[in-house]
Each structure stands twice: as C-alpha cells, then as structure tokens.
Amino acid sequence: MQKTQSFASRYMAMKRERFQHGLQTAKKNRGCYLFLAPYAVLFFTFFILPIATSIFYSFTYYNILEPARFIGLQNYVNLILQDEVFLTAIKNTFVIAVITGPVGYILSFLFAWFINELPKWLRAVAVVVFYAPSIAGAAFTVFSIIFRGDAYGWFNSILMEFGLIEAPRLWLTDPNYMMTILVIVILWMSMGTGFLSFVAGFQGIDKSMYEAGYVDGVRNRWQELYHITLPSMKPMLLFGAVMSITSAFNVSDVPRLLCGYPSTDYAARTVVTHLFDYGFSRFEMGYASAIATILFLVMILCKKAISAMLGRVGA
Amino acid sequence: MSETTSVRSNGVLQLIDGKKYRGYLEAGETGAAFYQKGKSEPFVEWHYTRIHRMDNIRRGGTTTQTTVILKDGSRYIFDLDYGLKVYNFMDGHWADKPVTPKTRGDELKRLAELRGEKIQVPKKHLITRRHPNRSIAGDIGIYLMLLIVGFAMVFPLLFLVGSSLKPLDELFRFPPPVWPQHPTMDNFSDLFVTMGQSWVPFSRYLINTVIITAVGTFGHLVIASMAAFVLAKYDFPGGKLFFNVVTTCLMFSGYVTGIPNYLIMSRLGMIDTYWALILPAFAAPIGLFLMKQFMEGLPTALIEAATIDGAGKFRIFWSIVMPNVKPAWLTMIIFSVQSLWNTSAATVIYSEAKKTLVYALQQIQAGGIARTGQVAAANVIIVAVPILIFVFSQSRILETMASSGIKD
C-alpha cells in the first residue's frame, strides 16, 4: 500500500512538474500567443465552432424559428432508414469519390511526373495547361454547351455526324448519363493544389539520388519511381491525398450547375447538395447538421486510412 | 552523419563583371563549391581552413540560401539569389562586394598555357540524353500521352473562348464549329448592354468582387503569416496541437460548414455584409498551412542573430521573416484570390447591390439558351483573372509548394 501510494504521488509530482515546465515555456513565449491570437480567434469562430455547432445540432430538431429540441439519434435514424434520397446522394457521392478521388490523384501524380521530364519552358506551359481547369472556377459550365441536349450541342453533333446515334441525347437531364458526364467533368478539374504540390516535389528531389541510382543499377523509370522518387515524395503524397479527399467529397457546384437543382429523379444529387437542400431550402438545420457530421467522420476516416497506406510506400 | 555533410542550393552566381552563371552551390565538410549547370567540375571553390572545419550546414529558406557554421562559431550564409553574397556573422555584415572567384577552368588554362599546350574543348552533343536509364519508346509514349491529355484539358477552355467570339448564327449552326469562322466581340458588348439594363449595374458586381477579394486576401496574408511565423519558429505549448487541428480542417470546405457558419454569422450580425465573406477568408487553413511549411525552411540562424541584436518579435517578423518569404506570399495570394474571386455568396448576402460577379453570371445563365453567347463572354472575363495571375507567378508558387508536404 505504502509503495503504491508513493508511486502514485511520484507520478503526480512528475505530472505537476511537467505542467509547471509547460507553464514556464508558455510564459516565456507569451508573445507567441499574441501573434497567434488574431488567426486563432477567427479560425475558432469560422471553422471549429461551426463543426462543434454542427455536431450539437445534429442531435436536435431545429428550424431556426423555434428553439432547438433534443431528439437524440432520431436524425441519424431517419437519414439511414427513411431518407431514400439521402441513400441516392450517398451512393452518388461514393461513386464520384471512389472514381474521381483515386483516379484524379493518380493522374495528378503521373502527369506531374511526366511533366517533370520536359525541358523547362515546356514544363511551365504544361503546368498551366493542366492546372488551368481547376482554377478556372465556373468555367466548367461550358460543358453545358458541349453536352447540350439538342443537335446544336457539340458532343451530340459529333456523334450524329459519325452516325453513332440517330437522335440527340439528353446528356445532362437523362439519369442514365448524368453520373458519367459528372465524373468526366470532375476528372477534368481534378489537377488542383495536389498536382502543384507534386510538380514542386519532383523538382525538389536531390538529383544526386538519381545519379546514385544509375550506379546502383536502377534500370528503368519505373524502378526509379518506386525506389527513389516515391519515398522522397511521401509528405507531398499525403498533402495531395488530403486535397483530393476534400474535393472528392465536397462535390456540389458541378452537379448543381450542370444537371439542375434538383436534378431529374435526384440522379445527380450528392451529399453536399442534399445538405444544402435541407439547410437552406427547408431550414431543417438539425437534419442538415446530421448530414454534415456524417461527412466529417467519413473524411477523417479516409485521411487516416490513406496516411496508414502511404506509410508502406517504397519501404 | 553523412546526411549532414553536404547541401545543395540552386541559383545564379553573378560575378563582379556582371556575368551570370546558372548552377548550384554545394557546401560540404571541407569547403563550398559552385557548379555550373551540367558541369561536373566545380566552377569556383572555397576552402574552410583545416582548424575551422564546418560544423553544421543547413539549406536556407529560399532554395538559394545555404548556411555554414564553422567549428570556431563563425557562420556564413551563401546566398545565390542576389548574385553570390556571403554573410559573415563574425563581422555581422554582408560582404559589400560579390566575391570574385578564379575559376578552376581559368587556372587549368593558365597552367596549360605555361606548358605551351592547347586545351581541348569538349564537343557539344546535338541531343543530350538527360537520363541514361530511359527508353526512347517510353519517352515518345509519354510525349504522346501529354499531348493528347493536354489537348483534352485545353479543349473545353478553347471551346469557351470560341463560344464567346461566335456570332449568333454560328452558335446555332449544325454541326457547331469549335472556333468561329467570323469572330466577333458582339457577345461582350451585348453582355454590357444586358448588364447595363439590369437594376444593378455590372460595374457594381465587379466592384463588390474586387473589394471582397482585395480586403480578404490582404488580411489573410497578414494574419495567417503572423500565426505561421510563431508556429514555425517557436516551440510553445499548444502550438503543435493547433497546427494539427488546422491541418485536419484543410479537408472541410466552406460547403460543409456552410449551415452552422450561417447561424454564427447571423448571431454576429454579419449577414448581408461583406464581412460574412471576408472574415472567414482571413482564417483559411490552406494559407496558414503553406506559409508555416515554407517558413520552417528559413535558417534559424537569421532569427537567432536578430534576437541577440535585441530585435523584438514583431520586428523580426516584419523586417526579416516577411521579406524572405515572398514566394509564399504569392502562393497565399493566388489561393485566396482564386477562392474569393469565384465565390457566389448566394447564401450569406441577399441585397442585390452587394452580390458578386459570379452570382451575376449565374443569373444571366438562368436567362436560358438565348444568352449562350453572353454567358460564355462573362465566363471568359471571370476565368481570365485567376489563370493570368497563375501564369505570371508560377515559378514562385512552385517554390512554395515544394515545402507543402505533410510530415506524418
């Protein structure tokens, strides 16, 4: 008994000492907190607080007019068991995320790698060409002209010219085609921040590592990629992954502006447009918050899974 | 041990006579040397004296800086960015003249001339193969693929520009041409006519967007840089945790937090003001993240020296750190401009006179098929701005992105 107590008290003393030490460093660096404060306050107000609020309201019924009423897990139960549109939204978001996330990520990486082999001036041009669609913002609305449902739509006219179809197809309003078109458009826009990070990462790799590689018998570009390039790019790979999860799960503008809101049979609905619908059209804030909370959780899990996967690359 | 024995920085060496040489500086155990691009012989060398062997070297903040700390405590910063400058911490000054080195080539030439020999200049190959382990077939394949996919990437943008220049009859011709046969600026002038007739003039939307973008970006740059500075350069309780939280929040776009954000803003009375867009932009996680990663590369020696000189944190931040992270500024600016410029803000602003350009564009689009040409014209105007900014700041942005990785 005596012994355990002394152990416990020693442990407490250690804790206290560590706390004191922390307090001391905090005091010594008081200025740091002043520097951090403006950002921290804004960040807390517009990023942390909304997430916390969102989790809180997800357990309530809240329509802005009446005070929030606690209803436990009811929102989640309704979402999963009763809301068929939500299931469509989940399915669509999942399809988009699973296709455009990894494919966009791999394409970004591959093209950054290919571009890296080009001479300098050509590389600069190529980076602009590949990056432009993702910074062009609303430029993707041009696809509504390209895939227009009548014969003046460029894609329809090409197909008709070659006799592949006889009558124009409603690419953006027919539920059978919507998802395919969306995936194409989103892939077109997928070379974003992650891609830039990869391009920069390739340029930053120490050239002498490649020279050492030649000497050690790295025979072709694939071996070089696996043994030298990938291991030195791990931090960029993780950053790129975070960026592609973000864009893959937050898809909302593209379906909204191309396929209409709401789209035919909800065929182009995603989780975020569903959230918008409940939040800003029906003012069911509690329900919308539950959708947001589920999205947070899925995104965090994805990031964890990816960083675990990247831990094994090129080992 | 072997990891810290040599460091390279790319840059341009400028000699006193104004000649410039592109290449890299390599600082090693016994000395530093500048290598011209593609040459294996050093162009110029410095040797530390035997007793003053190098103790520690670091890559500097920009890719062109290298700090060398000798065993006797003296420090040198080799900075290739402004010609070759050497900063001597013992004197505490930058050497007022660039060093005039004698190249090894000159020396060999002199010796050869003394011996009465002629030096052989190696022949230049017409095509240099940069990588010995690349197959030509693979190279061709890659070029082809880049060409095809590159074209696919540009095509919709070309189509957009083409549509904005098409006269009405070509917009509805079968088959539709990608590029107009008789390009015209009619759509642009029509756009201004339509906008001029609307209740709120077009210029008003433009001014709104410009105000929001400019104020939001400026504030973001200052506030996020201040936070990034202490997070990168000082070790204080809570700092690491805070940064991890910011990194996680990189994933949550404005859409997901849109609803609670709306509730919070209405509590703060910011709905229907510019602040509803500007203040959240100040705290954008991506800017802080990139700035912090970039600042970590700055030599700590710079800050230590200034602290010893008695400079306060703010002075260090403002006159030493900020001037040294200009590439990161540009990167922050482009990301911030890009997101603010493209914001439609339909949810937080409802007075017509405060709406943004993108919102106005979406309204024209709602006008239906007859407005196809005008929509394309408006789109061209909106899209051109972020792309042009990127074109002109590409190299600086890539320099920042090189430090963007997440260390796990």
pLDDT digits (tens, 9 = 90+) for A220-244: 777 888 877 887 777 788 888 888 8
Q: Which of B249, B251, B256 sits opposite A245 (nearest CB)?
A: B251
Beta strand B54-59 pairing with A69-70: unpaired
Q: DSSP string covering B237-304, please? A: TTHHHHHHHHHHHTT--TTTTHHHHHHHHHHHT-TTSTHHHHHHHHT-HHHHHHHHHHHTTS-HHHHH
A-chain residues within 8 Å CB-CB of B242? 36, 40
Q: Which of A39, A196, A210 sits opposite B288 (nearest CB)?
A: A39
* Burial class of residue A15, CB neighbours in 10 A (0-12, 13-18, 19+): exposed
Higher-pLDDT residue of B344 and B204 is: B204
Q: Is B263 on the interface with A (CB under 8 A)?
A: yes
Chain A closest CA to B165's CA: distance in Å? Answer: 14
pLDDT for the residue numbered B155: 86
pLDDT for the residue numbered B50: 43
For range B239-263, the mean pLDDT = 80
Q: DSSP string covering B109-169, please? A: HHHHHHHTPPPPPPPPPSS--S-TT--HHHHHHHHHHHHHHHHHHHHHHHHHHHHHH--HH
What are the phi and psi torsion angles at B225 (to 5°)? -65, -40
A-chain residues within 8 Å CB-CB of B172? 152
- B215 confidence band (pLDDT: 50, 70, 90): very high
DSSP character at residue A311: T
Higher-pLDDT residue of A313 and A98 is: A98
A-chain residues within 8 Å CB-CB of B249? 43, 47-48, 51
Chain A closest CA to B143's CA: distance in Å? Answer: 8
B-chain residues within 8 Å CB-CB of A306? none
Q: Residue A54 falls within a domain, yes or no?
A: no
Answer left, alpha or beta for residue A217, where phi above 0 means left and psi between -120 and 50 means alpha.
left
Q: Which of A42, A199, A235 sits opposite B405 (nearest CB)?
A: A235
pLDDT for the residue numbered B292: 86
Q: Which of A131, A224, A235 sits opposite B133 (nearest CB)?
A: A224
pLDDT for the residue numbered B68: 63
- B90 confidence band (pLDDT: 50, 70, 90): very low
pLDDT for the residue numbered A22: 75
Q: Is B307 on the interface with A (CB under 8 A)?
A: no
Here the tokens at position B275 are 């602040």
At A59, is the secondary structure helix, strand, or coil? coil
DSSP character at residue B172: T
Q: What is the CATH number of the domain that holds A259?
A: 1.10.3720.10
Q: Of the candidates A203, A226, A200, A228, which has an alpha carbon nearest to the alpha carbon of residue A214?
A: A228
Q: Is A287 on the interface with B (CB under 8 A)?
A: no
pLDDT for the residue numbered B51: 44
pLDDT for the residue numbered B100: 40
A272: containing domain: 84-310
Percentage of chain B surpassing pLDDT 90?
A: 3
- CA–CA distances in Å: residue B45 to residues A16, A153, B57, B94: 55, 65, 16, 19
Q: Is B140 on the interface with A (CB under 8 A)?
A: no
- CA–CA distances in Å: residue A304 to residues A132, A250, B109, B324: 30, 18, 60, 34
This model of the complex carries an ipTM of 0.77
Contact assessment for residue A58 and residue A277, using Cβ atoms and an 8 Å cutoff: no
Q: Is B218 on the interface with A (CB under 8 A)?
A: no
- B262 confidence band (pLDDT: 50, 70, 90): confident
A40-44, B121-125, B247-251, B279-283: the lowest-pLDDT one: B121-125
At A314, is the secondary structure helix, strand, or coil? coil
Q: A18, A32, A144, A285: best mutation site toward chain B, by most B Cβ within 10 Å?
A: A32
In chain A, which among 185-204 make CB contacts under 8 A with chain B?
188, 191, 193, 196-197, 199-201, 203-204
Inter-chain touch B174–A111, beta carbons under 8 Å? no
Chain B closest CA to A9's CA: distance in Å? Answer: 24
Residue ranges per structural domain of chain B: 2-114, 136-184, 193-401
Q: Residue A144 falls within a domain, yes or no?
A: yes
Chain A closest CA to B220's CA: distance in Å? Answer: 9
Q: DSSP string covering B11-35, please? A: EEEE-TTS-EEEEEEEE-SSEEEEE
Higher-pLDDT residue of B408 and A193 is: A193
Kind plus residue range of the DSSP H or E element containing A69: strand A69-70
For range B9-13, the mean pLDDT = 69
B-chain residues within 8 Å CB-CB of A153? 176
* Burial class of residue B174, CB neighbours in 10 A (0-12, 13-18, 19+): exposed
Look at residue A115 and tell me whether its pLDDT is greater than 80: yes
B-chain residues within 8 Å CB-CB of A138? 342, 358, 361-362, 379, 382-383
Look at residue B222 and tell me whether its pLDDT is greater than 50: yes
Q: Residue A50 falls within a domain, yes or no?
A: no
Inter-chain touch A42–B280, beta carbons under 8 Å? yes
Q: Residue A8 falls within a domain, yes or no?
A: no
pLDDT for the residue numbered B218: 92
For range B191-198, the mean pLDDT = 72
**Domain count within chain A:** 1
Chain A closest CA to B118's CA: distance in Å? Answer: 32
Look at residue B87 and tell me whether its pLDDT is greater than 60: no
pLDDT for the residue numbered B224: 92
Q: How far apart are CA B222 and CA A248, in angstroms?
A: 30
Inter-chain touch B223–A42, beta carbons under 8 Å? yes
Chain A closest CA to B117's CA: distance in Å? Answer: 33
For range A157-178, the mean pLDDT = 75
Angle A208-A211-A216 (CA atoms, 0-180°, nearest 5)? 125
Q: Of the candidates B139, B135, B88, B285, which has an alpha carbon nearest to the alpha carbon of residue A119?
A: B139
Q: Of the candidates A233, A143, A227, A223, which has an alpha carbon nearest to the alpha carbon of residue A195?
A: A233
Inter-chain touch A295–B256, beta carbons under 8 Å? yes
Here the tokens at position B125 are 């190959």
In chain B, which among 269-298 make CB contacts under 8 A with chain A?
279-280, 282-283, 285-286, 288
Q: What is the 3-state composition of chain B as percent helix, strand, coil, each rounded to the nearest 5?
A: 55, 15, 35
Q: Residue A76 falls within a domain, yes or no?
A: no
In chain A, which among 154-183 make CB contacts under 8 A with chain B?
154, 157-158, 160-161
Look at residue B110 and tell me whether its pLDDT is greater than 80: no
Among chain A residues, the shortest Cα distance to B130 is held by: A117
Domain B193-401 fold: MetI-like fold (1.10.3720)
